[in-house]
Amino acid sequence: MTIGIYEGLRKIRRRRRALWLCFPAMALVNILAAFGTQRLFPENTRLLFAVFIVSGGACLAISARDAFSRCPRCGHLFYWLGVLPFGFARACLHCGLKRTPKWNPTDDQRQEIRRWLAASSPRSPIPDVGLCCLACAYPLTGLVDRKCPECGEDFKVENLVGIEN
């Protein structure tokens, strides 16, 4: 099963949320550990150091996972232009894909679109399965061309929702 653009973007957003959460969580864990070790093992400073190293390592790993996210449309590093990082970019720096698309299909909608894909030829008109343009949310029902009539965005349905294989 290959994942589609929508799922890929969801993953990118999830990684960013984890990044925002991990630093306050690390601070909290270390504060609690400082109080705890002081009470229970006043002589043991290594324990606190170990908590600091492990939680810091976890935060670094979460940051790296976010920073090196790949764009689900073009495959390039979402936040990097060459060696320059742009962590606050809201769209892929290579192909312009927005991190939060205008239309986000539910799991059920993606499933229904995949079922249609599996049963139809690639150029058949798009049935009423709720497919909309990811750039402008224009409904794509009935289209034969794979180009949004509203904003001109080219798309491949199988890239949008992914395919089961």
Name the residues that contact Zn ion, by CB under 5 A. Answer: 71, 73-74, 92, 94-95, 97, 133, 135-136, 138, 148, 150-151, 153
Residue 30: CB partners within 8 Å, gap ≥ 6? 48, 51, 52, 55
Which is closer to Zn ion, CB of 59 or CB of 160? 160
Of 44 and 141, nearer to Zn ion (C-beta) is 141
Beta carbon nearer to Zn ion, 51 or 93: 93
For residue 84, what is the enclosing H or E element? strand 84-85
**Burial class of residue 164 in the structure, from the number of CB atoms within 10 Å of its CB (0-12 exposed, 13-18 middle, 19+ buried):** exposed
Q: Where do we find the tokens 């492990």?
A: 54
How far apart are alpha carbons 16 and 10 in whole angstroms?
10
**Residue 10 or residue 94: which is nearer to Zn ion going by CB?**
94
Give min distance, CB of 24 to Zn ion, in A: 30
Write down the least CB distance from residue 67 to Zn ion, Å.
15
Q: Give the 3-state secondary structure of residue 70.
A: strand
Q: Which helix (H) or strand (E) holds 51?
A: helix 45-67
Least Å distance, CB 126 to Zn ion, is: 13
Q: In the bound complex, what is the minimum distance in angstroms from residue 150's beta carbon to Zn ion? A: 5
Q: Which is nearer to Zn ion, 33 or 101 (CB)?
A: 101
Residue 92 gets the label, from left (phi > 0), alpha (psi -120 to 50) or beta, of: beta
